[in-house]
Structure 1
Amino acid sequence: MKKISQIILIAILSTSCAVIRQGEVGVKSKFGRLNPDILEAGMTGFNPFTTRIIKVPIRTVNQEMDLSLPSKEGLTIESEISILYSIEKNKVPFILEDVGQNYERVLIMNVFRSAAADITSQYMAKDMHSGMRTEIENQIQERMHESLRDRGFIVERVLMKSIQLPEELSRAIERKLQAEQEAQQMEFILERERKEAERRRIEAEGTRAAQIILAEGLVREIIELRSIEAFRELANSPNTKIIITDGKAPFLINTPQEK
């Protein structure tokens, strides 16, 4: 009998203690009435016959959902979106009393659906698949923050993880991107050819200028001087030669050397 009493006592003690983990707070509900005091992380005791502990996470929560979003041109865009939010610790009793424990489904998700539909309907479908996605995410976040901040919710980020455009629109965007890439490649080739043509033009102008300078420098006196120098070098040569000249330019005929 004593052993049974001990077992019952242990069972009562174990059910009258609750452990609140890091990133959570607890609120006591006694006969359905919420205690405004917040229980911090750790172990706390309570009367299991009259009281229960409601635990609420105050760390950042990631809520993912699939949603069909409207676009400005009336298309339906399938998307997978993450909402990162947290709860102000001091507002937890108010949230439980005002909305209940299903605050995520009752409040956050409904506010998100409304905000997302209002924002995306102002943008073209292709914008959700481009660099404007961040702008759309920020506007949805701001709209949700305006609706939820006074109720104790902090919307940290809205992330459009995947966007599925209608098949025909996706093909059109791919064709456009391909055409833009081809146009950029062609522009690169044309620019390269223009630079090469400019290089050749500058090179040709340099060669022409050099030829002009050389031609202008070959005056009659210089030509005669060069001829005299050539005659002098020929005269000093030990080889037998026949030189035919009109006095201006020599013409050389080599003869075999005697052995």
Structure 2
Amino acid sequence: MPNPKNISRVAIGVLIVIVLVVVGFRSFTIVEAGHRGIVLQLGAVQPQVLSEGLHFVVPFIQTVVPVEVRVQKAESSQVSASRDLQTVTTTLAVNYHLEGGSVNNLYQNVGLEYRARIVDPAISEALKAVTAQYTAEDLISKRSEVSAKVKEALTAKLGLYNMILDEINITEFKFSEEFDRAIEQKQIAEQQALKSKLDLERIKIEKEQEITRAQAQAEALRLQKQEVTPELIELRQIEAQLKAIEKWNGQLPNVTGGATPFINVD
């Protein structure tokens, strides 16, 4: 029969080994790539932040909360009013990331729900503040300027909570149907005005071309008149006589007598 004392010793030894294995596993933690580790000691946030890799922690006393510090995207569609009281629906895409060395402060003050508590409200407030400075038409024509102001305002708001804004993109401005129709009618009127202007310029150019041609013809006639001399007239007459001689068939015309002679050219 086995000795009960030996059995109990073996059981205690196995239990101790199991406890040591568990303690050993819980003594180390791995922070994945693109994350930081927030150390909690008995529930209290510690000042040190763990970087990527393997780290030692005090088992059962310290725990590690992983927080992503890679670039994150937040897309939001906000309804606001322009300076001329037009309703504007703006769709904005925001890229941001958490400052790695300060995620413990963010966790302590805000928690892991930072997007719903901080990012989305900041986007809404920044958009409404900037769009209220521009008319609806200016929001379209000065899109890059509006985007720069929204980025500036949003950078300041997120910076208060140790978040870094990387980039924003205004993907769409959407207005009311009445405003869209008014813009379309204005564009049609501008196109018609441009067409009329071009037609006037074309008519003006054609008129100038006609005047230029007429002036050229008049100048040519004047020069021709200056070149007409008695010698030129006599030369033209001689040329005409030569052409008549070339056409003559050798027959003399028939002449009848009387005060007025009659010439038969048959």
Give me the TM-score of the superposition, normalised by structure 2.
Answer: 0.75
State which of 141, 165, 178 in structure 2 corresponds to 1:155.
165
Q: Does 1:215 align with 2:222?
A: no
- Supply the AA of the counterpart residue of 2:39: K
CA RMSD after TM alignment: 3.3
Q: Structure 1 residue 233: deviation in Å? A: 5.6
Counterpart residue number, 1:134: 144
Q: Does 1:20 align with 2:29?
A: no
Residue identity over aligned pairs, in percent, reads 24
Which aligned pairs between 1:186-225 and structure 2 lie closer than 5 A?
Answer: 186-225=196-235
Counterpart residue number, 1:101: 112
Which aligned pairs between 1:19-168 and structure 2 lie closer than 5 A?
Answer: 19-21=31-33, 23-44=34-55, 46=57, 49-128=60-139, 130-168=140-178
Aligned length: 240
Which stretch of structure 1 is more off in the superposition, 38-47 or 218-227?
Answer: 38-47
- Say if 1:242 and 1:80 are closer, same or farther in 2 by CA, change over 3 A: farther
Contact 2:31-2:51 within 8 A present in 1 as well: no
Q: Structure 1 residue 44: deviation in Å? A: 4.4
d(CA) in 1 for partners of 2:188, 2:227: 59
Secondary structure at 1:36 match in 2: strand
- Say if 1:229 and 1:20 are closer, same or farther in 2 by CA, change over 3 A: same
Which stretch of structure 1 is more off in the superposition, 12-21 or 63-72?
Answer: 12-21
Cα deviations by residue, 1:75-101 (Å, 9 ceiling, x for unpaired):
332222212222222222222223222
State which of 195, 212, 222 in structure 2 corresponds to 1:185.
195
Cα deviations by residue, 1:97-126 (Å, 9 ceiling, x for unpaired):
232222222222222222222221122223
- Supply the AA of the counterpart residue of 2:32: I
Contact 2:82-2:134 within 8 A present in 1 as well: yes
Q: Structure 1 residue 19: deviation in Å? A: 4.4
Give me the TM-score of the superposition, normalised by structure 1.
Answer: 0.77
- Say if 1:199 and 1:14 are closer, same or farther in 2 by CA, change over 3 A: farther
Q: Which structure's CA Rg is the greater one? A: 2
d(CA) in 2 for partners of 1:80, 1:90: 31
- Say if 1:215 and 1:164 are closer, same or farther in 2 by CA, change over 3 A: same
| Unmatched segments (≥5 aa) in structure 2 | 1-10, 254-264
Secondary structure at 1:126 match in 2: helix
Contact 2:110-2:117 within 8 A present in 1 as well: yes
- Say if 1:39 and 1:230 are closer, same or farther in 2 by CA, change over 3 A: same
- Say if 1:70 and 1:48 are closer, same or farther in 2 by CA, change over 3 A: farther
| Unmatched segments (≥5 aa) in structure 1 | 245-254
- Say if 1:239 and 1:45 are closer, same or farther in 2 by CA, change over 3 A: farther
- Say if 1:102 and 1:238 are closer, same or farther in 2 by CA, change over 3 A: closer
- Say if 1:242 and 1:78 are closer, same or farther in 2 by CA, change over 3 A: farther
d(CA) in 1 for partners of 2:223, 2:205: 27
Contact 1:141-1:156 within 8 A present in 2 as well: no
